[in-house]
């Protein structure tokens, strides 16, 4: 029951059913799941330890709200671990089936590019972005698995989850974004195939730093908008859709 509660709460946060800064109700979650409060409390304790939730005096347990420094810290951690892992993966001869799968996932980005070109739209829609994120996660996860370090994989996955959940909602990728991501993924896959450790590390580091820059730009845009909303609430209310 504790494991089920853990997965339920994590998925609820990932789906933005629980947003950053919002309190968590043991009683409400127990009613939703039809279980006692004890496994809910235990799952919440685990999520506090992992950084998805935090205990605040006089408020109880709330969903973590990341700030700009948190985003930088998470990306620095991700870069340190992933670049180290890919350096290990590129040192040795990799199983041909793993290499083939890695290249297949890299080439998967081109599928989204083809869909976008065929549709005539300027950017991927929400459903396509969900599929893209799954493909991107599978590529990076396989890199970690090839490095054969389960602990690094666990920490990187938790870090990526925090980044995905708590950074701003991104717009759909455009053709130029997909071209750039494909280049990064393809070059990393090719470098590992030829056991070029330096190239694999350099390209992956650039890839993660580019992603950090994009997330910070999103955060800064969101922060400016929130500041304007607080200083000029009447202006924003004028352009808000009416609620019937």
- Return the CATH fold of 68-214: 1.20.120
66 or 236, higher pLDDT = 66
pLDDT at 22: 81
C-alpha dist (Å) from residue 17 to 20, 24, 63, 64, 107: 10, 11, 11, 13, 33
pLDDT tens digits for range 199-223: 999 999 999 999 999 888 888 877 7
Q: Give the rounded distance of the alpha carbon of 187 from its chain centre.
A: 22
Position 84 scores a pLDDT of 93
- Domain definitions of the chain by residue range: 2-63, 68-214
What is the per-residue pLDDT across 86-122, written as a single tens digit (0 to 9) for each? 999 998 888 999 999 999 999 999 999 999 999 999 9
User: Hey, what CATH topology would domain 2-63 get?
Assistant: Arc Repressor Mutant, subunit A (1.10.10)
DSSP 191-235: HHHTT-HHHHHHHHHHHHHHHHHHHHHHHHHHHHHHHHHHH-HHH
More confident residue, 46 or 164: 46
**Between these two residues, 11 and 72, which has the higher pLDDT value?**
72
Decide: 79 and 44 in contact? Cβ < 8 Å: no
Half-sphere exposure of 159 (CA within 13 A, CB side): 23
Question: Residue for token digits 């930088």?
Answer: 72
- Within a 10 A sphere around the Cβ of 111, how many other Cβ atoms? 14
Residue 191 CA: distances (Å) to CA of 11, 80, 82, 145, 148:
35, 18, 15, 16, 18
């Amino acid at each position: 029951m504790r494991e089920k509660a853990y997965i339920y709460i994590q998925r609820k946060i990932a789906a933005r059913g629980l947003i950053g800064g919002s309190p968590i109700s043991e009683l409400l979650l127990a009613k939703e799941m039809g279980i006692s409060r004890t496994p809910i409390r235990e799952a919440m304790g685990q999520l506090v330890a992992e950084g998805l939730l935090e205990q605040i005096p006089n408020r109880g347990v709330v969903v973590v709200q990341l700030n700009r420094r948190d985003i930088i810290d998470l990306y620095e951690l991700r870069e340190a671990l992933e670049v180290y892992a890919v350096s290990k993966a590129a040192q040795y001869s990799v199983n041909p089936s793993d290499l083939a799968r890695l290249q297949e996932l890299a080439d998967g980005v081109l599928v989204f590019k083809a869909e976008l070109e065929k549709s005539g739209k300027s950017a991927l829609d929400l459903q396509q972005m969900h599929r893209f994120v799954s493909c991107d996660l599978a590529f990076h996860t396989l890199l970690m698995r090839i490095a054969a370090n389960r602990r690094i994989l666990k920490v990187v996955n938790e870090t990526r989850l925090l980044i995905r959940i708590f950074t701003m909602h991104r717009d759909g990728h455009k053709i130029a974004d997909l071209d750039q991501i494909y280049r990064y993924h393809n070059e990393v896959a090719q470098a590992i195939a030829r056991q070029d450790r330096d190239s694999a590390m350099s390209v992956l580091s650039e890839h993660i730093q580019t992603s950090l820059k994009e997330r910070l730009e999103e955060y800064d845009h969101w922060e400016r908008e929130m500041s304007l909303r607080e200083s000029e609430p009447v202006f924003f209310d004028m352009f808000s859709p009416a609620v019937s």
